[in-house]
Chain A
Amino acid sequence: MKSYHVGKLGVAEGIALVFGMIVSRLFLSGMSDGIRNNGQLYWLAMILFTLIPLVVLFMMVYVNNSVSGDIVVVCKHLVGKAGAWLIVIAYSGMFFANSVLVLRQYAEYTLSTALPRADFQLVIVWYAVTAGVICYLGIEALCRASCILLPFMLVGLFLIFAMVSPFYIVYNLTPWQGNGIMTVVESGVHGVGYNMGVLSLVFLSSAFQNTKTIKSAAIYAISGSLVLRIVDMLVYTMVFGVAVGGEKTMPFYELARLVYVNQYIQRIEALFIVVWVMFGLMAIAGSMYMGLYLIVVLLKLPGLRPIAPLGAIIVANLAMLPPDIGTTIRLDQLLVQVSQVGIYLFPGILFVMALVKKRRKKSCADI
């Protein structure tokens, strides 16, 4: 039987949280960039940048289990106070930056596809306020709402994949080597930042039932997202091919525009706005919550709710800073590169320190 204590989230909630945070870029230009750079073999890069964060998550779970307490306590114990501040602020910044850049890209996406006459600021503020409200409601509300809506959203996506089947050209998947295996491996190693959201499970470990829950949620979420990404990539490539597909900035929207079943079921991309808006909200709210949560534990604040509106205001203002969508996409790619620090460097240091401390403790005990 299950306990309902506040903060005792289960596997389904964990899957929804991570899935929402890492799948949102499926609708953005990252997909077409990846296809342009890697060709038909992009799926291999996806496998790589999915497996590496999973390994890193298991390392972080080990680190988290070696010291009891939140992430700040763990970091203080392993790398000292200054190191802890550096690591936690860096992670918080990465999550905030993710929130800001996803928000900006979704706002641009909304302006281009759904509300061409809407005011830019209004769209930004709208998304930020909605994400702020969700953060205010708490992690339980965010995860459980995502958990309920996710199946419907996935059905919507797979419906699109099925309805564009008349446009599939299987030959577009050849040559299967794409732009070369080394390029793909390089992309896979550098693209781990796309999946940094999986670490949120470790940071929020006190909210989950136990370590097994975190591990199961991570495995299901990340492998599920991998399947979805690969299916999307293959469908997209089959429909548009690498040359054309690599040029498009709104891959999913372009895919949905092709749907023509009969004169009554056509131009349904507008209806699928609901799906990608919800994916976007999950990513923006999830990242914003993580950014705020890390600040809260770092400063030992009594609660997160009072700073949720502040977080929303900051995110909205930062999202308005990039002068155009081109700059935003470049910044987003930069963030994915910078996020490697959060995947390789910090967990690596913490893991090594945890191992060293454990060995020292053991040797002391032997003496």
Chain B
Amino acid sequence: MRKDGIQTIYTSIKNILVYQPSKQPDPFVLDENQQDTKKINCDPIPLDSSESLQQLEAMVQYAKRLVTFIEDYIEELHNGQWFGKRREWKVQYDALKQQQTEINAILEKKNNDDNVSEPTISTSLEENQKKIEEIYQLPLNKDVVIRKFIISTQPEVKALLIFMDGLADKKVMNMAVLQPLMLLQNQQESDSDVVDFIIEQCLPSGQASRVGSFKEVQQGINTGDAVLFLDGIGEAVTIETKGAEHRGVDRPATEQSVRGSQNAFTEVLRVNTALIRSMLHSSDLITEMIPVGKRGHSNCAIMYLKTIANEELVAEVRRRIKGINTDIIIDSGILEHFIVDFPSNPFPQTLSTERPDRVVVHLVEGRVAILVDGSPFGHIAPISLFTLMHSADDFSMHFYYSNFLRMIRWVGGLISMLLPALYLAISTFHQEAIPTELLLSITAARGQVPFPTIFEILLMELAFELIREGGLRIPGILGSTLGIVGAIILGQAAVSAKIVSPIMVIVIAVTGLASYSIPEYRLASAFRIFRLVFVFMALVMGLVGVACSFFVLTGILSSLKSFGMPYLAPIAPKTTSGGDVILRKPVHMQQRRPDELNTQDVIRQGDVSRPWTKQIPTGGDDS
């Protein structure tokens, strides 16, 4: 008893004092492919569903009573004895009515819970028109067009066509929708219903499908489709008439390559998916469409190869996108922040690309591509830090040269992050490490500058960022010209005015140049942020500060995950490499897909990927 009391006091004090972590589900981890160990889900019904079970039981009981009542009533009617049992019927009827009231309440609640209380399409054309006018605030809103006409079937059917002006192609509308429907003369309606008849025999449009709710109607209209309502039918037909003006397929603006493909994504989702499909002719390639955004329904496409991509990964990507609760997603960059594991970490956790060929390469490796309507950039997930340092035309060049370029990029990355900090640390704390002649030269140059090194670094960094940002905003080709001229003039002027030393101009210029060698823009931005962190660490503790912060940064990156995959895989944790990490093997020697992706099919190509080398040539010999 006494022991229990002490235990209780101990537990109470512990509960008050000890931090209790918030109850969150375990983070997603990209695990082994579970295909072989799939089990039928035999989970018991959760306890909190007992109320639902009771309600369901009540509804079944009501249905049974109703059936019995009707059967009995019919039987009595047949027997002709119904008059004598009027009172009995009345009592039973009242009881059923009472029960129906209760059932209705349950149904209403359930409908609210399931969010199926979306207004459904009415059989009355007027009601549908009224509903559409209410949704789109007509006649205030001038974008939505309502066109009434009559379809000359037997009997005639009144129809209502609704579309968004500017989003729908008027030529398609006139030639492929209105003309066939309005000029329909003396056509006999077949046995099938009128909707089937119209879809199958009257509309030459590419896609036409039935929809049953106003939510689907809105999705169709908002994306450029026309919606056809028919009088007396509680369904509508969405007809593909998309035809908004858009930019054509152009050359990549930020991921130019010397020898790779020259196509880039556009703002139209369907064009982008088609670009990918035109490069990857595989029936395994799946494109799932998920509408995102409560107010503006943007379509988001998930693309993957069904027989390669890890099913758990696909399900997780789908779950995250479906789980977004926001007004609108207008750009893939915004979507990224909603779905990555660590949105506050500046390091990119997806690969953003405007090149369909890059997307195709990664799809074949077993990754998932995410595209958003209206954004010319696709995202690839999951990725590692090493993927971000790969360039588009790495595989278009000989592997010796592309490996050399990769090394240059890594050196560039390290310079861009560490050079100012190392310069500051060595010149301030560890001058003995600098060769004497260079030290004298630096001292002489710095002698006339009245500011400390940190001030010089921050000033030059600020100037460099101003030039970079200003260069982006200055219109047209003037931007880059003014940027270069500005940098030269500013640098020269600053040195002449003895505000900064010439060596500092060199350090910052090399750093800036190195940051452009990083192929991924967001990664370069992350490096830029950490460059400042390193500078401040070097300011306080010299090389010790740089070493400590580099260790911490490596720790942060080691604990980072991209859609459940470790960010530094396959180095840490060490896994079987696919032959394309920091350096790459020749293409014919890359037999395996990246192990860290846990794909369904691990082997990319056979051990002998060039069997012709083993065959005897058919041509003549040298003699």
> Which residues of A are interface residues toward B (Cβ below 8 A)?
1-6, 9-10, 12-13, 110, 114-115, 118, 122-123, 126-127, 130, 133-134, 137-138, 140-142, 144-145, 147-149, 263-264, 266-271, 273-274, 277-278, 281, 299, 301-303, 306
Contact = CB atoms under 8 A, between A and B. Distances in A.
B262 interface: no
A127 B540 CA distance: 13
Contact of A3 (B20, B32, B548, B549): B32
Contacts, number: 148
A264 B435 CA distance: 5
Contacts of A268: 433
9 contacts: A1-B602, A2-B595, A12-B574, A133-B555, A141-B556, A144-B554, A148-B558, A281-B547, A302-B20
Given A12-B574, A263-B435, A273-B544, A141 B559 contact: yes
A263 B596 CA distance: 47
Contact of A145 (B549, B555, B596): B555
B18 to A, nearest CB: 6
B335 interface: no
A115 to B, nearest CB: 6
Contact of A271 (B543, B564, B571): B543
B281 to A, nearest CB: 29
Contacts of A110: 544
B541 A9 contact: no
Given A4-B29, A141-B559, A148-B554, A126 B544 contact: yes
Contacts of A266: 435
Nearest to B554: A145
Interface of B: 14, 18-21, 26-27, 29-32, 426, 429-430, 432-433, 435-437, 540-552, 554-559, 564-566, 568-569, 571-576, 595-596, 598, 602
Contacts of A122: 540-541
B552 A133 contact: yes
A329 B566 CA distance: 40
- Among B14, B548, B555, B559, the most chain A Cβ lie within 10 Å of the Cβ of B555
Given A1-B598, A2-B575, A130-B551, A273 B430 contact: yes
Contacts of B545: 126
A307 to B, nearest CB: 8
B573 A134 contact: no
A208 B115 CA distance: 46
B547 A278 contact: yes
A303 B21 contact: yes
B429 A12 contact: no
A277 B548 contact: yes
Q: A-B pairs with the 7 shortest C-beta distances?
A: A144-B558, A270-B430, A144-B572, A141-B555, A277-B547, A141-B559, A270-B433
B551 A114 contact: no
Q: From A110, A123, A142, A147, name the one whose CB has the most chain B CB atoms within 10 angstroms.
A: A147
Contact of A306 (B19, B29, B559): B19
B430 to A, nearest CB: 4
A47 B582 CA distance: 37
Contacts of B552: 130, 133-134, 137
Contacts of A302: 18-21
B541 A126 contact: yes
